[in-house]
Amino acid sequence: MTDSQHWDAIVVGSGLAGLTAAAYLTANGMRTLVLEQWEVAGGYSHVLRRRGQYESDVGIHYIGDCEPGGTTPAALMRIAAQLTRGRKTAPAPPIMR
């Protein structure tokens, strides 16, 4: 494998979670590849349009327990700790502290 083919992390899917994970990995010095099956990144952040008449938001409408100390930030911090394996990392956003 040549150096140009080496990735520290491969993220499958470029929805909001995949792009966030890739951003954290890259900010922490990991060579990161994002793979997406569609031609546009963003996942459920898109709007579905049919025949120019119908429009529907395809995204998630509610994610709970995101306050500081909540289940969602705690889970994300555990995942980040496992991914970085003790390497010096960028500070977490204020909501996750």
β-bridge mates for residue 62, sequence order? none
Query: Phi then psi for 28, rounded to 5 degrees?
Result: -100, 20
Handedness of CA 35, 39, 45, 48 (dihedral sign): negative
Domains of the chain: 7-88 (3.50.50.60)
Task: Give the Cα separation of 77 and 86 in Å (integer).
Answer: 13
Alpha helices (runs of H) in 6-60, residue ranges in sequence order = 16-27
Q: What is the dihedral of CA 12, 61, 73, 9, to 10 degrees?
A: 10
pLDDT attached to residue 97: 45
Query: Side chain identity at 38, as an amino acid letter?
Result: W
pLDDT range class, residue 11, cuts 50, 70, 90: very high
For residue range 45-94, what is the model confidence (pLDDT) as tens digits?
777 788 878 887 777 666 777 788 888 888 888 877 777 776 666 665 55
Mean pLDDT value across residues 3-24: 88
Pair 28, 20: CB distance under 8 Å: no
